[in-house]
Every structure is written in structure tokens, then in C-alpha cells.
Amino acid sequence: MRTIWLMALKDLKIVRHDKVGLFFIIGFPVLMGVLFGAISNSFSSGGDDVHFEIAVVDADQSAISQRYVKALEDSGSIIVRPPTDPNAAIEAQREQAINDIRKGDLLAFVGLPEGFGETAGIMWMEGPAIELGVDPSRSAESGMLQGILMQAMGQLVGDRFADPDSMRPMIEQSRKDIQENNDMNPAARALLSGFMGTLDTFMGSLDELNSGLDDAGEKSDRPTMQLANIRAVDVTAPKQENDLTSRIHSAWDISFPSAILWGVLGCAATFAVTMVRERSQGTFYRLRVAPISRAQIVAGKGLACFIAVICVNLMMVALGYALGMRPNSFIFLALAIASLAFCVVGIMMLMSVIGRSEEAVSGASWGANVVMAMFGGGMIPLAFMPPFMKSISHFSPMSWGVLALEGAIWRGFSLTEMLFPCGILIAIGAAGIGAGVMVLNRATD
């Protein structure tokens, strides 16, 4: 093991001097991640070109629910289609919206449940879920839409707490409403009455709530700082409710998996080149006559690549986190990253035996990288891919990498769901290592 470690350390030191490699491993993914994220951010917060037409079925009809609809419209990317018959029953409105979506008339509908206004924007209250039904053929937009729903909710939170003074008249009004309205749910009445008192302690408790953030993936009775509780509604089968709760917290959630891909592909190509360079500069000769086995040579190279991939991922996750990316599960993320790293080692091994010269390997590797990235979500996030590209993407190992990362970051995968892309990644890695080692073992010079 010491030998393998020595070999890996040596390679990492060598790659540190490889300016071009470093750019692709570190600089490029950062650029891509931030760029994509920034584009998507502006996209979802005020881009003029994109408008999602949706229907809002407001079963709550409260001041807060109306504010929420206004916040959605204020996002700039959403047009709320007014109901054809405002006086129709809520259930009928919902039916109508789903029908419109199915006909392709409407992108989505957002259902604000009864009682929405009582808890929306109060973070320690887990209110009834917002329904979201999206045209399945336009699932690309679904992620963005969820982001906008979150943002609008965030605004509500801001409205409620950022500037309490300005909220006072509204709260006074609410108090009056409570007193005047005898039909009101007593629990809600108590809640709203206690609202002003709670305000003071809110800031203090915010920290504590924040610490619960990382466990957001787990189901717990403890309220989490999940901005909006969105429940996806399968519009193709309205009777069946899809329980999957999607949690895209920011545009960075979408841009970073793609960006990470570039980094790891950079690792594969860079370490593949160090492998041929080992031969072209003659050091492979020394390694072969040294008292170490071929397996150790290969393992050392693999370990170096593995470590580099892990480092790129950690760096990107840290950067993403700083920008606002909030992975659902860090444990799954670790699983995804480790599987991805193993896969990349396999790809690296294969690349390293593609050609005999540095130029050949470097050229072929980067060519393969561009193709893999293009169809794997490194250029266009998978979520925004046209369908034909998406079907090709299954052949790119990188799309499985993205799926695994996304599964951990925002798709809210269960362990079984995670194991699928991770298993494929590991299988690809193993195949690559096997093939690479076989070719390498035949090399005699």
C-alpha cells in the first residue's frame, strides 16, 4: 500500500505542474458551474425571454396566498392564466387546469391548498404541500418552475420577517380578521395571535433551524427550513399522487453536477496522459524493473486519479455550497462522488492505452471527453436536453454520473434509486480498468 501511495503522490505532484490539465480540472468546471448557474439564475429570476404559463388553483383565497401568486408573477418568468370561470368550484378549476396541461395548452398548474396562508413563509411550520403538476413532456422546465416556487416562497418569508414593522398593519388586520371571523379554525386563530410574540424569538431560533438543514433529506417531525413543501402531481394520472418531493434549492443545484463532470473528465484525460508520458519519458522502464508489481503501478495511477476526482468534487461542492447549492443528502453525495471517481479511473485507464504518444492520447481523450460531456450533461444540463439527446445520453458514462450527483443533490433519490446510477458507474469503472490493464500487460516496451 505504501508503494501505491508513493506512486499516487508522485503523480499528483506531477499534475500540479500541468497547467493545461489544471485548468481543465479546476478552472473550467468552476467557470462552467458559475456560468451555468448564473445563467439559470437570471433565467428564473427575471429573464424576459422565458415565460412559463401556468394556472394557479387557489383553494386558500387568503391574503397570503394572493401575495404568493403576486410573488410568482413578479418573478418575471411566470404568467398566471386567470381561471376561465373564477366562480367555479376549486375542484373544477383544478380539473380544468390539468386538462389544459394534458392538451399542451398550459405548462403547469400550482395548487395552493386550504390553510396555505396560515403557515406559508413561517419556517417552523410545515404547512400543507403546494401541488405542482407539470406537463411531463416539458420536464425540462419543471426544475426551473420548482426553483421559482421556492423563490416566491422565499419572498414571502422575507416579507413576513425581514421587515417586521412594515408587516404590522397586515398583522393588525389579520388580528381583526380573526376576531371578526368566527368560522376560523381555532388553531389558526391561536397561531396568528401568537404571531407577533414569536417574531422576537424568530431570529434567535433561526440558527438552530439552520443546523437542521443538512438533514433535510430525512423525514422527521421536526420542522426543517425547507422553504416550500412542493408535492408533484402527476397530471397524466391525476388519481394517483406522486409522492416524490423535489427539492431544487437553487440554480446551482442544476449547474454544478454538469460542471463537476468537466472537472472529472479533465482528471481522466490528464492522468491518462501522465500514464503514456510514463512510457515516453522512460520512467515506466524504471517502474517495471523496480521491486513493485504491475498491479501496484496501475493501482498507484488509479489512486492518484481517484484522489484528484474526489478533490475536484469536494472543491466544487464547497463552492456550490457557498453559492447556495444545498445537497439533499451528503451521504448519498459521497456515494455518488466515490462511484463517479471509480468510473473515471476506468475511463482514464482506457484512455491511457488508446495511443502510444502523449499527443495521441491527449487528443483522443479530449475528443472522447467532449462527446461524453456533450451527451452526458456537461454542456447542456440533462434537465434541459432535447429528448433525442437524452436518449443518446444513456450511452455516456457521464450522464450516469450526473444522475447520481443530481440524485443526491436535488432529485431526492432513495438509497435504492441511488444504487442504480452508482452501480452503472462502478461497472463502467471496473470494465475500463480491466480492459486498460489487459492492454497494458501486453505492452513490452
Site residues, another protein (CB under 8 A):
3, 6, 10, 13-14, 17-18, 281-283, 285-292, 444-445
CB under 8 Å to 367, separation ≥6 — which residues? none
Cell numbers found for residue 105: 395548452
* Cα–Cα distance measured from residue 288 to residue 431, given in angstroms and rounded to the nearest whole number: 24
Taking the least distance from each CB to another protein, the nearer of 20 and 35 is 20
- Grid coordinates belonging to 25: 480540472
Please identify, using beta-carbon distances, which residue of 303 and 340 lies nearer to another protein: 303
| Shortest distance (Å) from residue 434 CB to another protein | 22
Closest to another protein by CB, 279 vs 411, is 279
- Distances in whole angstroms, Cα of residue 336 to Cα of each of 48, 166, 327, 345: 36, 46, 12, 14
Q: Which is nearer to another protein, 222 or 286 (CB)?
A: 286
Of residues 173 and 293, the one with the C-beta less far from another protein: 293
211 by DSSP, 3-state: which?
helix
Q: Are 255 and 381 in contact (CB under 8 A)?
A: yes
Least spacing, CB of residue 350 vs another protein, in Å: 24
Judged by beta carbon, residue 185 or residue 293, the one nearer another protein is 293
**Nearest distance in Å: CB 15, another protein:** 9
In whole angstroms, the minimum distance from the beta carbon of 433 to another protein comes to 22
Which three three-digit cell numbers place residue 119? 403557515
Cross-sheet strand order for the sheet of 230-233 = 78-81, 52-58, 108-112, 130-134, 230-233
Find cell 433519490 and name the residue. Answer: 413
Cβ at position 265, least distance to another protein in Å: 22
The number of C-alpha atoms within 13 Å of 307 and in the hemisphere containing its C-beta is: 17
In the bound complex, what is the minimum distance in angstroms from residue 266's beta carbon to another protein? 18
The CA-based diameter of the chain, rounded to the nearest angstrom, is: 92
